[in-house]
Amino acid sequence: MPSKTKSPFVTRELAGRAVRDAFAKLAPKTQLKNPVMFLVYVSAFLTTGLYVCSLFGTADARPAFILAVALILWLTVLFANFAEAIAEGRGKAQADALRAARQDVTANKLSSPAARDAVQRVPGASLVKGDCGLVNAGEQIPADGEVIEGIASVDESAITGESAPVVRESGGDFCSVTGGTTVVSDWLKIRIASDPGNSFLDRMIALVEGASRKKTPNEIALSTLLVSLTIIFLIVIVTLYPIGMYCGVQLPLSTLIALMVCLIPTTIGGLLSAIGIAGMDRVTRFNVIAMSGKAVEACGDVDTMILDKTGTITFGNRLAADFFPVEGASRSDLIRCAALTSLHDETPEGKSTLELARRLGDSSEEIPGSSFIEFTAQTRMSGVDLPDGTKVRKGASDAIEQYVTSQGGKIPSDLHAHVEKVSSLGGTPLVVCQNNQVLGVIYLKDTVKPGMAERFERLRAIGIKTIMCTGDNPLTAATIAKEAGVDGFIAECKPEDKISVIKKEQAEGKIVAMTGDGTNDAPALAQANVGLAMNSGTTAAKEAANMVDLDSDPTKILEVVEIGKQLLITRGSLTTFSIANDIAKYFAIIPAMFMAAIPQLGVLNIMHLSTQNSAILSALIFNAIIIPCLIPLAMKGVKYRPMSSGKMLARNMMIYGLGGVVTPFIGIKIIDMVITPILTAMGI
């Protein structure tokens, strides 16, 4: 996978490949997939044939003019092919990187899941679903599977782009391993979960290079609209010939073909496929693999988003938020002792306690000769023994109470009140003592990730409702929900509760998205319209979802939704621009064609183009070159801003509707001024 660093839009290698593919796509079978551009393709053949006939004296226009029309039509087809090839090429570049990660490896096949020593060396490609294998440090995992025994660090950089190894172990939600990744420590016993050619890596390669891409429902609907418009304009062009005869104007066939190509929605027709491919490409570059274009598109229509609390809205671990000294103890002593016990505490809780103490002005450092006591499940406390005999401890309330009592100390009367206060806030209390004196309580809080409230507000602005699911009690859930700014929450949530709320929202006609990584999330992921599974999660979760996040970041669904909306907006904006273009082309070509016979049409000749031929060719050239000019916009997408659908429509109509009318007027006039001397010199 590519890294997260920004890469150039088009490299020289990519452009070269796209040019070759543009010519390869001239095959009739390929062109037939796009009805609008297929008509341009047929028109290019037809005008080429007319030019050949003109060389033998059979022509209704100057051969040079017919040749110019034919060449421009061929360029139009090639530009459309180039746009699609650029989009596909970016995916193929990623696919090549993934293929480089997939190597033919020799696997250690086990005779049974319980075996450890009975190892048979076999080609990795020969392993089938259900086989068991042993992967040692430094060896590549031969195929997708689940860890059934062992714990090890796995380098997944070939897939995710992240250099830091991740831990994989049997059981839980971190038991899934991907073929093509490398074990860097210890060993793993895995059960193969895919047959050859059907691994996650194989599917990724097929998806990113477009081999398994299918048209989405919205894309099919838009294609149908474009075909309908094309048929209408085709009928208009056919009727123009007898109208011209009635008016005494002999319209050359090449002119009618040029007019038809200018009026049909060639711009969006040439970019439609590229926009769809680019949408999936943007998701892929965000390290999310969409199982279909339909999934990306569905993201753009999401109405309700369901998110787990822990690890998504809040950090996976509770962090220190405050210190509450008991009666008779100073806050500074509490902070100092809490910091001393946390100097060698590598847990997130310990690190956050030390960080909070530092922010509050504590500067305690390790005293030479100190002996640090690690936390154990038996003692449920940790601490430090100082050289002067002072013993400092922090841990669970009951554990510290027993310790202080055993040292001959007394329990402060307000300790239980502080403990209950922290618990009622949904936090975890840690009690700190020095020798036989209780100093106070550390408030470990379920901390909402920075910026989450703003992100949920951003989603609210575009009409997406957020629902938080948590196993916490209602009081704690309500506290977190208020702080995070979600629209609703489900407390003491069970897997079936997630399915119930998804079905309820869908029954109201809403599109629902959710994230998950465990086997217990699989039913809900399958039920949701957009299911984003974590790559670190179980195989069941990844199979049930229609998207997989390679970075295993649950919050990424927020960005994925915006990418989906950007795809829909881009397609709509460029469709508006394409259709708006026709207005200018009418004013460019129609007056030029009929003004000689109908002088009254001169009032429509607001562009004052030089000649009939220059008007037609200028419009045709603009129609061709606007496609490659819009490729960067189609690839990158129209910039998305959260706003209501009404405001968004008005904004895009102003920019792409009005812009689609004005731009061709300017462009065609400039082209006319440039080509007129050339046409005069050529006698056209």
User: Backbone phi, then psi, for 177, in 5-degree steps?
Assistant: -125, 150
Cα angle, residue 455 at apex, residues 94 and 216 outer, rounded to 5°: 45
**Residue 214 burial (CB count, 10 A):** 10
Nearest CA to 351 out of 433, 447, 417, 426 is that of 447
Tokens 């990730």 appear where? 449
Find the catalytic residue in 144, 202, 308, 521.
Answer: 308
Task: Say which residues have a Cβ less than 8 Å from residue 406's Cβ, sequence separation at least 6.
Answer: none
The pair of structure tokens assigned to 511 is: 């599109």
Cβ-defined contacts of 448-452 (< 8 Å, 24+): 448/313, 448/314, 448/480, 448/483, 448/484, 449/313, 449/314, 449/315, 449/555, 452/313, 452/484, 452/485, 452/555
Distance CA 581, CA 388 (A): 85
Q: Could you tell me where the beta strands, DSSP code E, fall in 143-296?
A: 145-149, 151-155, 166-169, 176-177, 182-183, 187-192, 288-290
H or E element, residue 442: strand 437-445
527: Cα within 13 Å, side-chain hemisphere: 22
DSSP 115-150: -SS-EEEEEGGG--TT-EEEEETTPBP-S-EEEEE-
Q: Which run of H or E residues covers position 359?
A: helix 348-359
Given a contact cutoff of 8 angstroms between Cβ atoms, the answer to whether 141 and 178 are in contact is yes
Give the sign of the dihedral formed by CA 339, CA 345, CA 346, CA 349.
Answer: negative
Characterise 552 by phi-psi region: left (phi > 0), alpha (psi -120 to 50), beta (else).
Answer: left
Please list the residues that pair with 534 across neighbouring strands: 549
DSSP string, 470-533: -SS-HHHHHHHHHHHT-SEEESS--HHHHHHHHHHHHHTT--EEEEE-SGGGHHHHHHSSEEEE
Q: Tokens standing for 457?
A: 């507000």
Cα–Cα distance, 523 to 441 (Å, whole number): 41
Torsion angle, alpha carbons of 544, 546, 551, 557, to 10: -110
Residue (of 343, 284, 310, 11) closest to 159 by Cα position: 284
Where does residue 57 rank: exposed (0-12), middle (13-18), buried (19+ CB within 10 A)? Answer: exposed
For residues 35 and 169, what is the distance between their CA atoms, to the nearest angstrom? 52
Look at residue 373 and give its three-state secondary structure.
strand
Answer yes or no: 446 catalytic.
no
Contacts of 227 (CB under 8 A, 6+ apart): 35, 36
Catalogue the active-site residues: 308
